[in-house]
Amino acid sequence: MPFKKQKQHQQKHSGPKAEKKKLKKQNGSTEEDERKRNPKAFAVQSAVRMAKTFHRAQDIKTKKHHVPVVDRTPLEPPPIVIVVVGPPKVGKSTLIRCLIKNFTRQKLTDICGPVTIVSGKKRRLTFMECNNDINSMIDLAKVADLVLMLIDASFGFEMETFEFLNICQVHGFPRIMGVLTHLDAFKNNKTLRKTKKNLKHRFWTEVYQGAKLFYLSGMVYGEYQNQEVKNLGRFISVMKFRPLVWQTSHPYILADRIEDLTDPERLRTDPKCDRTVSLYGYLRGTHLKNKGQVHIPGVGDFQMSDVNFLPDPCPLPGTQKKRALNEKERLLYAPMAGVGGVVYDKDAVYIDLPANHVKQLQEVRPTTELVQSLIETHVTLDAKMAASKVSLFSGSAGLDPTDIMQEGLREIHVWDAHTQTQRRKVVFTGLEEEEDDVSGSSSDEDDDGSDQENQEEEDDLSTFLKEVRDKSEKATKGSTPPVKKRKLEEMQGEEEVIAEAPAFADSEDELERGEADSEGEGEAERAGDSGHCSKESEEDSDDEEDGDEDDESMEEEIGADDSDEEEEQGKYHSGLFTFSLCSILWTFKWKEGLQQKASAAFLRHQEAAPNLRKLVYGSVVEAEDSEEEEEELGGLFRVNRPQKSKKVQADALDCSHFNPDISHNWELEEMLNSIRDCFVTGQWEEGQDAATLLKEDEELYGDFEDLETGKVHKGTTGEQDQAEVRDSEYSVKMDDEEVQKNKRLEKKRRLKERFDTEYDDGDATYFDDLKEEMQKQAELNRAEFEDMDDESRVQYEGFRPGMYVRLEISSLPCEFVTNFDPHYPVIIGGLGTSEGNVGYLQMRLKKHRWYERILKTRDPLILSLGWRRFQTIPLYHIEDHNGRHRLLKYTPQHMHCGASIWGPITPQGTGFLAVQSVSGVKANFRIAATGVVLDLDKSVTIVKKLKLIGYPYKIFQNTCFIKGMFNTVLEVAKFEGASIRTVSGVRGQIKKALSTPPGAFRATFEDRLLMSDIVFLRSWYPVSIPQLYNPVTSLLLPVGQKDSWSGMRTVGQLKHDLGVRNKPSIDSLYKPITRAPRHFNPLHIPKELQKALPFKSKPKLLQPKGKVPRDLKRASVIREPHERKVAELLRALSTVHHYKKKVAQRAHHAKHKEFLQQKEKDEEAKMKRMKDARKKLYRIMGQKDQKKQRSSLKGTPQDD
Amino acid sequence: MASHGLTYEGCNFLRQRLVLSALSGKRVKIKNIRSKDDEPGLRGTVLVYQPGLLYGGTVEHDCNPQRSIGYYLEALLMLGPFMKSPLKATLRGVTNDLTDPTVDLLKSTALPVMKKFGIDGEGFDIKVVKRGMAPGGGGEVVFTCPVRKTVRPVQLTDPGKIKRIRGVAYSVRVSPQMGNRIVESARGILNQFLPDIYIYTDHMKGANSGKSPGFGLTLVAETLNGYFLSAEMLSTPQGQGDPILPEDLGRNCAKLLLEEIYRGGCVDSSNQSLALLLMTLGQQDVSKVLLGPLSPYTIEFLRHIRDFFQIMFKIEVQKPLEDERKGGDKVLMTCVGVGYSNISKTLK
């Protein structure tokens, strides 16, 4: 058919229609107009529909609400983790390189590990490249804030992309931005457009409608186009993030630097020993507590031995008001890639010499010096140690380490009759620790000094130490004020942190002493920092000033678990903490010296207050090693303290009663007065006093008329003001103005508050209230510890997110260090309470619809749950209608099912995903299943069906004896009353066991059984969950083989690998069915029934007839001879006749046949003739017809 | 791979350790329990506790009459909200004795404290079915507690003024007049401060009166902001020490209440540890509570909290002003919760 063109729409330019339209355009008829013109159309037609529409609108509105959460983001948030994902060769590294160049104007050739940059005034970014390994993909999906998903447009989506999206979905969905690359591969503009559209829509269905997809059109000199990268950078730097549940409830660190701290000597002797490793990174998520448990995905669970925070290596710029960052503020920090300027901390020194504009301030000089000195060292530490001499006092002879080796400090108890106390004499023995030698080696000391100290008293142990330290410190830090330092050092001595005081710091001091005297102050501070000298001690030093003796003893006691309070009570009292020990006060008489006592009590309070925290927690450093503290004080002395008093307290009555202060006598008026204001009858605060409030009310509402009495009350504001003015005149104070102003402000505030409560809360919904509450809490959280210094703040709330922290883990496997590959992310995930335990987990699981195979119960499966990746053996089950959890052999195809595993305790509601193997790259979709944790115990018992089979061996009417189902009488007894069934469906019940054969029983059925019947008992057998928990230790594998972790194999794999074929049970095989012919017994019809049957059907008639009786039989005929002859002749004649007749008939038949054949022939000929004739006729007719038609087509009617 | 456990010595603070262990999932080992004693009480002197999950449900327990039900109830109050299914515990034994807080005291003070933390609902109650005095016991208490997934952070900083005083004067197997005599004398002292005093008399008879005679008084002061301070006093158990007159008992109890008011705070001295525990288990937000002076038991509890949860409290002493007449020093406890969530609860 030819294409027919549609007629185009012609707009009318004249005529009534055009006029109408023109009018409409001019007037701009609004909706209101129409409403007026046609009110009926806008009237309420149906209340129900209106309600429905309203309901729907509200539903849509409410759906947009999220459950409000407390905003716990810190003021200075950690850098945003941007994970760049994509299949290989898609341009990930290039993109990171371009972005870094865009933000920092620096070129980073090798992207190794996380790269942190400052991107703006308030934003830092950490880039991490995700390689094409499912382990990395899983780990990084858990820590990512933003995912840049690179897609090779010339190829289309690859499996990895979808796998990663699914991983993200399970572990909380981070922000995802697609980036299309290789767009220059398209030569045809149309295909390019089409591909873009297709990819975009597919991406949207996976992420969300309208998800951002970015196009990088092509490369210029091996880099993406500047403008496009810039745009991408802009998108990144304004992006907003919604907090993810798992991330906000767990602290985590993406390690960007790792140091091995293991003793080199130990490494030399045992290269495979467990390593002490420090890991560095920005803390994210939530607060991290020291000493907590962490999980490193790919390595395992570990206890942190120490955490501390470091100065930010990549800080945000200061708060100056300007739009852009200057060159110096565009920092880049990537230690694994070898960039990061100078880094200086406890473990190592990093110097990046190329002209980086990173801060190279004070650190440079000492560090280079240190490094130089280290380089110049030709002697080992041991040798140096042997050569060095320790002097405890300046100006005294050095103490040779060999001496110390022989005579380390030790104490013996000596009873001092003079002071009536037990003294602990210090004796030197050979028990020493190297560490302490090192720490001591910096100072100069002599034997005499220490000998003198031998005579010191128990309490002077610490004094001795502090003096030693004092001296040495004095030598090193000349410029600091001596008093303050003394205090500080004292505290150190008291708190016995010497074990911690590292050799490093001291030796450094010594190195610098030569020329760095001038900057002693700063140096001291830094040394203190790096040397772990607890800030606590510095802080508390002020408190110590008033009474050394008291505090010291107090310290000691607390250290010893508050045991000997009774002994020492004369020395201090805490009025606040009466340990029912006020025996002294007990003897006081109240009448005398009340004032004195009051002042004494006041003083007591003064003393007690600052010590309160110490009383509870001891000092903080002590707390850290409270366990060892009993054994080892300062690592130097061994204490054998008599622990009797402690025992007494430890075994005391466990009772929460708080005995009242006996010193309070509630008969006295003073005491009664002291609590007068606690009652509503007492005096109120200024602002809440009833009189003031009343007055305020008057001010607020002014005049009013009492309607009952008709009395008019005048507002007294003016008067009051006058009164106030008068007051101010009379008052002595000169800063009345201030007071007045404050009062006015206060009044204003109160009025505003009242106004707010009256007018704002009117239409506040529950949601608004909740949001406000959360807001308040967030403000409180921020404000509470704001003005504290970090050291003490860390103790209360833990390390807060955004801090750059250093974790020390003491027993990492050596493979972690030896096989370290910076391209794989090292994540340290903090574990919550009891998340370090392993137990049973109930989950809801669904096989992924893209995974090809169904999963088999008891086949090992690798799960990613919480921080962890581990292999476990799941049991699948489904809940029946009666609440029974039935074991499934395989997961259902398109349905959820339950799964029970043995694994790490993870809070309910946490999502997980399962893969069958993490090794290698497979063509198919690898994520086998996804699901969620429901419950953390064995409360659900999984059962599997068990059929017990037995055979009848004796059958009565409906009762039957059955054997073969059980083995003993006891077993039967357990199943008495259980229902059983035959294969044919006859139901019955177990009644009682029989004595012989053992295990046989009597059972009754609803019908008589046959001997050939099989009886079975359907029972449910609880299945136990296999306890396999095998963490995937992929990070420990050698470099290059990290994606080849394989754990336990499935039975199928094992059989395949070992070439084992299953030998099926003979019973399970199919056999040809042979059916024996069935013999039926005759039908028996009861007499009664027979009677009732119709005559025809009476069985009597159906029966075959018996013999005919003789009288009914006919007698035989015996012929005469003549007759016989006649009969024989007749028979012969008839035989001949018959024969003749037969022959004649045969002849006739043949003749007739011939005739018929002839006739047929003729007929055929005739038919042929007729057919020919007809053919001829039809041909002619056809020709005629054709002719006719042809002529009619021509249109010229030639013949009719 | 179980998490590292903690080790302690001695039998003291056993409840604290077990409760915190159960909540934190950390294993605890207690050594040298009355090691010098001939009868250590246990079969050995070492106790190892590996915590599992808290099941809850209906529990019945016959408590040892050596300690009152309050001893058991204190621990149950801490565990109750974190069970798998709502708890209904029937405890039998001594309801009131001198060493531990009595059931009446816990009912009137501990429950309001817990309500502040969002542990509330219909089935949150302590019911004294039968009263049993020391030493015989024979009392019965039903404690029901709903289950919570998380605990709310609280700011209990302003106790407010005391608006009313309530109390229960109970007596079993003695003259019912005892109650009235107690009330009379207690009112005599308290009326100096407040007119709104009402003390109920609770005389239980027959099967509900337990096995031993005795009487006692529990006083509760309620503040405007809904905080409760309480004190209690009991008669000496039958056959132990000198008997006490009901008038003396009433007076002494009133004085104890004054002492408690002197100490002040938003939580009374016997519930300090409960409040601190719930603060610790709160969301990762700042909680504040104003307490009176810390009791030795609480101080030890704070140390245990640090061991089990690595939580340290900020302790600030608030001294009364010169001319203020509001009792002694107060302590403001501040902490950031661990973000605990009830892992026993089933997700459906």
pLDDT tens for A1154-1176 read 999 999 999 999 999 999 999 99
Q: How would residue B53 be classed by pLDDT, with cut points 50, 70 and 90?
A: confident
pLDDT at A83: 96
Q: Is residue A156's pLDDT more than 70?
A: yes
The first and second tokens of residue B30, run together, are 């207690």
Tell me, what amino acid is at A550?
D
pLDDT at A1096: 82
With CA atoms as reference, report the closest residue to B267 among B122, B133, B124, B77. B77
- Verify whether the Cβ–Cβ distance B36 to A647 is below 8 Å: yes
pLDDT at B69: 94
Q: Are A452 and A392 in contact (CB under 8 A)?
A: no
The CA distance from A251 to A244, in Å, is 12
Query: Would you call A245 an interface residue with chain B, using a CB distance cutoff of 8 Å?
Result: no
Q: Which residue does chain A place closest to B344, by CA atoms?
A: A936
Q: Which residues in chain B (124-183) have CB-CB distances under 8 A to chain A?
A: 153, 155, 161-163
Low-confidence winner among A695-704, A887-896, A1010-1019, B211-220 (lowest mean pLDDT): A695-704
Which residues on chain A are in Cβ contact (under 8 Å) with B345? 908
Which residues on chain A are in Cβ contact (under 8 Å) with B100? 655-657
Query: Would you call A616 an interface residue with chain B, using a CB distance cutoff of 8 Å?
Result: yes
HSE-CB at A1108 with a 13 A cutoff on CA atoms is 5
Q: Are strands B197-204 and B162-172 parallel, antiparallel or unpaired?
A: parallel
Torsion sign, CA atoms B281, B283, B285, B291: negative
The CA distance from A916 to A929, in Å, is 9
Query: Over the stretch A604-645, which tens digit does the pLDDT of each residue have?
Result: 555 444 578 888 887 543 333 333 334 444 444 444 444 444
Q: How would residue A937 be classed by pLDDT, with cut points 50, 70 and 90?
A: confident
Residue burial A345-360, b: 16+ Cβ < 10 Å; e: rest: bbbeebeeeeeeebeb
Q: Which residue does chain B place closest to A667, by CA atoms?
A: B255
With CA atoms as reference, report the closest residue to A135 among A1156, A1076, A1015, A1047. A1047
Give the closest-approach CA distance of A847 to chain B in angstroms: 20
pLDDT at A887: 96
pLDDT at A640: 46
Query: Would you call A599 an interface residue with chain B, using a CB distance cutoff of 8 Å?
Result: no
Q: Are B252 and B218 in contact (CB under 8 A)?
A: no
Query: Would you call A672 an interface residue with chain B, using a CB distance cutoff of 8 Å?
Result: yes
Q: Is residue A119's pLDDT more than 80?
A: yes
Which residues on chain A are in Cβ contact (under 8 Å) with B192? 672
Query: Would you call A74 an interface residue with chain B, using a CB distance cutoff of 8 Å?
Result: no
Mapped onto helix, strand or coil, the DSSP state of residue A417 is coil
The share of chain A scoring above pLDDT 70, in percent, equals 69
Alpha carbon of residue A1053 to chain centroid:
31
Give the closest-approach CA distance of A621 to chain B in angstroms: 13
Query: Over the stretch A220-230, which tens digit does the pLDDT of each residue have?
Result: 888 899 999 99
pLDDT at A445: 40
Low-confidence winner among A11-15, A960-964, B336-340 (lowest mean pLDDT): A11-15
The CA distance from A908 to A894, in Å, is 23
Q: How would residue A1032 be classed by pLDDT, with cut points 50, 70 and 90?
A: very high
pLDDT at A761: 59
Among A241-250, A965-974, B40-49, which range has the highest average pLDDT?
A: A965-974
Burial of A84 from C-beta contacts in 10 A (0-12 / 13-18 / 19+): buried
Average pLDDT of the segment spanning A1112-1137? 92
Interface test with A, best of B165, B284, B321 (most A CBs within 10 A): B284
pLDDT at A669: 86
Q: Which residues in chain B (16-55) have CB-CB distances under 8 A to chain A?
A: 23-26, 32-37, 51-53
Average pLDDT of the segment spanning B247-265? 92
Work out the number of other CB atoms within 10 angstroms of the CB of residue A522.
Answer: 11
Query: Would you call B324 an interface residue with chain A, using a CB distance cutoff of 8 Å?
Result: yes
pLDDT at A762: 60
Give the closest-approach CA distance of A838 to chain B in angstroms: 6
Interface test with B, best of A675, A896, A900, A910 (most B CBs within 10 A): A675
Q: Which residue does chain B place closest to A839, by CA atoms?
A: B52
With CA atoms as reference, report the closest residue to A531 among A260, A288, A381, A345. A345
- Verify whether the Cβ–Cβ distance A797 to B336 is below 8 Å: yes
pLDDT at A618: 77
The CA distance from A401 to A438, in Å, is 9
The CA distance from A526 to A625, in Å, is 23
pLDDT at A845: 96
Q: Are B166 and B198 in contact (CB under 8 A)?
A: yes
User: For residue A208, what is the DSSP state?
Assistant: -
Q: How would residue A976 be classed by pLDDT, with cut points 50, 70 and 90?
A: very high
Cβ–Cβ pairs < 8 A, chains A and B: 244
The CA distance from A337 to A278, in Å, is 18
- Verify whether the Cβ–Cβ distance B310 to A612 is below 8 Å: no
Which residues on chain B are in Cβ contact (under 8 Å) with A933? 347
**Which residues make beta-bridge pairs with A887?**
A877
ipTM metric: 0.91
Which residues on chain B are in Cβ contact (under 8 Å) with A799? none
- Verify whether the Cβ–Cβ distance B12 to A653 is below 8 Å: yes
Work out the number of other CB atoms within 10 angstroms of the CB of residue A1061.
Answer: 6
Tell whether omega for the bond before A997 is within 30 degrees of 0, i.e. cis. Answer: yes
pLDDT at A604: 56
Give the closest-approach CA distance of B162 to chain A in angstroms: 4
User: For residue B99, what is the DSSP state?
Assistant: S
Q: Which residues in chain A (632-651) have CB-CB distances under 8 A to chain B?
A: 647, 649-651
Give the angle A379-A383-A385 at the CA atoms, nearest 5°.
120
Query: Over the stretch B192-214, which tens digit does the pLDDT of each residue have?
Result: 899 999 999 999 888 889 899 99
Which residues on chain B are in Cβ contact (under 8 Å) with A674? 262, 325, 327-328
Q: Which residues in chain A (107-136) have CB-CB distances under 8 A to chain B?
A: none
Q: Is residue A553's pLDDT more than 50?
A: no
Q: In what order do the strands lie in the sheet with B47-49?
A: B6-9, B28-31, B47-49
Q: Which residue does chain B place closest to A907, by CA atoms?
A: B343
Q: Which residues in chain B (252-281) have CB-CB distances under 8 A to chain A?
A: 255-256, 258-259, 261-262, 264, 269-270, 273
Interface test with B, best of A561, A577, A654 (most B CBs within 10 A): A654
Question: Whole-number mean pLDDT of chain A?
Answer: 77
**Which residues make beta-bridge pairs with A176?**
A147
The CA distance from A177 to A175, in Å, is 7
Residue A859 vs residues A848, A874, A876, A1056, A1138: alpha-carbon distances, Å: 16, 7, 10, 14, 93
Residues with Cβ < 8 Å from A115, sequence gap 6 or more? Answer: A96, A100, A108, A126, A127, A128, A332, A333, A334, A337, A339
Query: Over the stretch B74-110, which tens digit does the pLDDT of each residue have?
Result: 999 999 999 999 999 999 999 999 889 999 999 999 9
pLDDT at A841: 94
Which residues on chain A are in Cβ contact (under 8 Å) with B101? 656-657
pLDDT at A712: 55
Q: What are phi and psi of A224, to 5 degrees?
A: -75, 160
Q: Is residue A1023's pLDDT more than 60?
A: yes
Q: Is residue A710's pLDDT more than 80?
A: no
Query: Would you call A896 an interface residue with chain B, using a CB distance cutoff of 8 Å?
Result: no
Interface test with B, best of A249, A599, A676, A679 (most B CBs within 10 A): A679
Average pLDDT of the segment spanning A265-275? 92
Query: Would you call B75 an interface residue with chain A, using a CB distance cutoff of 8 Å?
Result: no
Give the closest-approach CA distance of B192 to chain A in angstroms: 9
pTM of the model: 0.70
The first and second tokens of residue B241, run together, are 């020490």
Q: How would residue A967 be classed by pLDDT, with cut points 50, 70 and 90?
A: very high
